[in-house]
């Protein structure tokens, strides 16, 4: 039986029910997907996703002191009171190693929430592109879900290749002085791992 493959340029183009039971690859190259891979590779024990800033603060407050890191962004910039923003290179072993990352972003976490009825949810970026492709082998129903940027389609997500600086997300990051994040996100196959979201607990771990 040949697998079916669906590609969605924005999360709003598909309802959660349409992805129920399938394998979803969530793509938010700039930057949530890339940052999550970096964080887990740097030794974070798991990533807890939150839709809203206050939800993230509340989730972090329930965990033992010293065991949690708050990370994320709004408008591309770090959130007041959070230890880390959404720059992948900031997620180093000394900052997140052995700790739980509580994470919220403008686009990526919302795209991931859209997958809550899926059977399996993989986190895809340039930095783990080949590993994601290998993990997709054997799936009968595959959905590639692009997070986009501020409600617009973004080339880095829809193609997972090409000219990042010509994308909506790439231009906006350059405008706020975060060009280095574009270069970090463009590093193809830097990591061999594929973070996986449990759509029932909304937590991401390495299998």
- Kindly report the CATH class assigned to 4-205: alpha beta
pLDDT higher than threshold 50 for residue 109? yes
pLDDT higher than threshold 60 for residue 120? yes
pLDDT of residue 165: 67
- Counting residues of the chain whose pLDDT is more than 90, the rounded percentage is 68
pLDDT of residue 160: 65
Convert the chain into a string of H (helix), E (strand) and C (coil): CCCEEEEECCHHHCCHHHHCCCEEEEECCCCHHHHHHHHHHCCCCEEEECCCHHHHHHHHHCCCCCCEEEEEEECCEECCCCCECCCHHHCCHHHHCCCEEEEECCCHHHHHHCCCCCCEEEEECHHHHHHHHHHHCCCCEEEEEECCECCECCHHHHCCCCCHHHCHHHHHHHHCCCHHHHHHHCCCCCCCCCCEEECCCCEEECC
**Residue pLDDT, tens place only, 123-137:** 999 899 888 888 888
**Residue pLDDT, tens place only, 54-64:** 999 999 999 99
Confidence of residue 187 (pLDDT cuts 50, 70, 90): confident
The first and second tokens of residue 2, run together, are: 């040949």
pLDDT of residue 163: 30
């Amino acid at each position: 039986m040949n697998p079916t493959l669906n590609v969605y340029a924005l999360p709003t183009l598909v309802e959660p029910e349409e992805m129920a039971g399938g394998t979803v690859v969530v793509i938010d190259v700039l930057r949530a997907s890339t940052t999550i891979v970096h964080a887990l590779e740097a030794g974070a024990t798991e990533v807890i996703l939150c839709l809203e800033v206050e939800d993230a603060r509340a989730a972090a407050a329930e965990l033992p002191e010293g065991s949690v890191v708050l990370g994320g962004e709004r408008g591309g910039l770090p959130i007041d009171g959070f230890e880390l923003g959404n720059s992948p290179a900031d997620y180093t072993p000394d900052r997140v190693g052995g700790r739980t990352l509580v994470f919220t972003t403008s686009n990526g976490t919302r795209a991931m929430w859209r997958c809550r009825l899926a059977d399996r949810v993989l986190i895809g970026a340039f930095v783990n592109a080949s590993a994601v492709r290998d993990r997709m082998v054997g799936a009968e129903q595959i959905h590639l879900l692009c997070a986009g940027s501020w409600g617009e389609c973004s080339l880095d997500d829809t193609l997972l290749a090409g000219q990042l600086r010509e994308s909506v997300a790439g231009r906006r990051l350059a405008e706020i002085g975060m060009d280095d994040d574009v270069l970090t996100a463009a590093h193809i196959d830097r990591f061999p791992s594929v973070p996986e979201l449990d759509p029932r607990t909304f937590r991401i771990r390495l299998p």
